[in-house]
Amino acid sequence: MTPQEIEPRLLNRNLVLFIAGWAVFSFSFSVWGVLFNLYLVRLGIQSGSVGVMNGVLSLVMALCSVPAGILVRRVGLRFGLTAGALAQVPARVALLSVGFLPREIWPAWVVFWFIVIGITYAPLFVSGPPLIMQVSAPHLRRQAFTAQAVTFGIAGFAGSLVGGQLPALFAPLLNATLEQPAPYQAALTILPFTWGVIVILWSRLKLAPMAAAVSIGGQDPRPTRLLLFVVFMVVMQASAEGALRAFFNLYLDRQLMTPVSVIGLVNAIAQVVSVAVVLLIPAILRRAGNTRTLAAVSLGIGLCMAAIAGVPVLGVAAVGYIVAISLIGIGVQVRQLFGQELVTPRWRTMASSVNMVGVALGNSGPALLGGLVLGAVGFAGVFGIGAALSLAAATSLAVFSVARRRGAPPPA
């Protein structure tokens, strides 16, 4: 198969290599998500400061997503993926070395390397959706996005389960307790190696050059207003996810006094359920379409966040989190397809960049704001902010859907 050919099979060579790397990324991301915030807290960094640090990472991603899209168009999708993955190796090693440095520079050190991760995440995430659109036959694209989501969920389940157990395995070997940072640091040391595997997989991709970014006879103008709506909608929808990612583990650990193994189990169950739900994406889209599916997802996430905020009980928190993560799994994939299918091929990297701007801003907002006001409003207040913004996203999508059904001209 030459780089210019699109193979009619769903699981063609390029898609398999991409999804295999995405699976390793999901495993690594889930282990990191379960453990790294807990590691920082056990070093003595306050929960609010940890939230601000996560918010900085997402904000940097937002600022870099559009430049990353322009760069990827110039240098190619494979370079964007491999360069972004390769840069994660020194960044993770540096973050895990924070405990060996003087305490007074800890916050600055973590923020600096979070900025590096945010910059190098941008081309990695921007490259994915256009790659799937390029290597998949048009009638198989929904299945391709679903395959990516299923793989992400399965690998994420394994990562969450392993991440929840690793500190307990390392603690006796290090003569430490689970209230000390050493078991968490030891557990996280495997992750730089996983990024090396990702680089090897993605370096073997064979992809066609990106479509030219010049307009042809004025027939394909930049869809500016449409892209602005996508940013607006995604920011609000991703805000609930930002609050969950930044604070849910800390909420279970600090307020509900939940054992680390249970935190990992809740994350693992959420990933398993997410996989089962994501399998329904093609059928859901056939019945409801992209816009109404995203509106329903936003409504459901908002209700879950409201339940977590209003009922400080482990069972409610766990169920709310599991349902919300499942809906987020649908939303992430449909969001990408929504943007990719609304534009012509030469605007796909821009649509992907715009989507990532929205995701990163949505993730950074609750993390930064929540970190600053956590002491005043508590975890319930932070989750309540996410709920309100997710419900606002549902409203905006409902209005968008009604406007399109009534024959309003599409944004140009």
Among 302, 285, 296, residue whose Cα is nearest residue 397? 296
Expressed as residue numbers, the domain containing 137 is 13-207+222-405
With respect to residue 124, please indicate whether it lies within any of the assigned structural domains.
yes
CA 172 from centre of chain: 33
Q: What is the DSSP letter of 255?
A: I
With respect to residue 360, please indicate whether it lies within any of the assigned structural domains.
yes
With respect to residue 148, please indicate whether it lies within any of the assigned structural domains.
yes
3-state helix, strand, coil in the chain (%, to 5): 85, 0, 15
Measured between alpha carbons, how far apart are the two ends of the chain, in Å?
37
Q: Which residues contact 267 (CB under 8 A, 6 or more apart)?
A: 30, 33, 34, 160, 161, 163, 164, 249
Q: Which residues contact 302 (CB under 8 A, 6 or more apart)?
A: 240, 387, 388, 389, 390, 391, 393, 394
Give the pLDDT of residue 320: 94
> Does residue 131 contact residue 224 with C-beta atoms inside 8 Å?
no
With respect to residue 386, please indicate whether it lies within any of the assigned structural domains.
yes
Rounded Cα distance, 291 and 288, in Å: 8
- Token pair of 391 as six digits: 């419900």
Q: Which amino acid is at 270?
A: A
Q: What is the DSSP letter of 219?
A: S
With respect to residue 8, please indicate whether it lies within any of the assigned structural domains.
no
- Is 0.85 topped by the overall pTM? no
With respect to residue 412, please indicate whether it lies within any of the assigned structural domains.
no
How many other C-beta atoms can be found within 10 angstroms of the C-beta atom of residue 126? 34
Give the pLDDT of residue 368: 66
Q: Which residues contact 349 (CB under 8 A, 6 or more apart)?
A: 69, 70, 72, 73, 126, 130, 210
Secondary structure of 278-326 in HEC code, one letter for each residue: HCCHHHHHHHHHHHHHHHHHHHHHHHHHHHHHHCCCHHHHHHHHHHHHH
DSSP calls for 131-193: HHHHHS-GGGHHHHHHHHHHHHHHHHHHHHHHHHHHHHHHHHHTT--TTSSHHHHHHHTTHHH
- Token pair of 319 as six digits: 């169920």
Where do the H-state alpha helices sit in 174-279?
A: 182-188, 191-202, 224-250, 260-278
- Token pair of 198 as six digits: 């990702």
Q: Distances in Å between the alpha carbon of 145 and those of 49, 246, 322, 335, 337?
A: 35, 26, 21, 11, 8
With respect to residue 70, please indicate whether it lies within any of the assigned structural domains.
yes
Q: Distances in Å between the alpha carbon of 411 and those of 82, 183, 221, 258, 403?
A: 35, 53, 11, 48, 11
Rounded Cα distance, 348 and 336, in Å: 10
Rounded Cα distance, 102 and 99, in Å: 8
Q: Which amino acid is at 124?
A: L
Count of alpha carbons within 13 angstroms of residue 174, beta-carbon side: 18
Rounded Cα distance, 124 and 323, in Å: 27
Give the pLDDT of residue 4: 45
How many domains is the chain built from? 1
With respect to residue 164, please indicate whether it lies within any of the assigned structural domains.
yes
Q: What interhelical angle do 348-405 and 314-342 show, nearest 10?
A: 100
- Token pair of 103 as six digits: 């305490």
> Does residue 397 contact residue 288 with C-beta atoms inside 8 Å?
no
For 368, phi and psi rounded to 5 degrees?
Answer: -70, -50
CA angle 387, 391, 392 (to 5 degrees): 115
Give the pLDDT of residue 221: 65
Give the pLDDT of residue 113: 93
Find the CATH number of the domain harbouring 180: 1.20.1250.20
Rounded Cα distance, 149 and 281, in Å: 10
pLDDT digits (tens), the chain, 412 positions: 444 455 566 678 889 999 999 999 999 988 998 889 889 888 888 877 787 787 788 788 878 888 888 888 888 889 989 999 999 999 999 999 988 899 889 888 999 999 999 899 888 888 888 888 888 887 788 788 888 888 887 888 888 888 888 999 999 999 988 888 899 999 999 889 999 999 999 999 987 766 554 444 445 566 777 778 878 888 888 877 877 877 888 888 888 988 888 888 888 888 788 888 888 888 888 888 888 888 899 999 999 999 998 998 999 999 999 999 889 888 887 887 777 777 777 777 777 788 877 777 777 766 666 666 677 778 888 888 888 888 998 998 888 878 777 655 444 3
Q: Which amino acid is at 140?
A: L
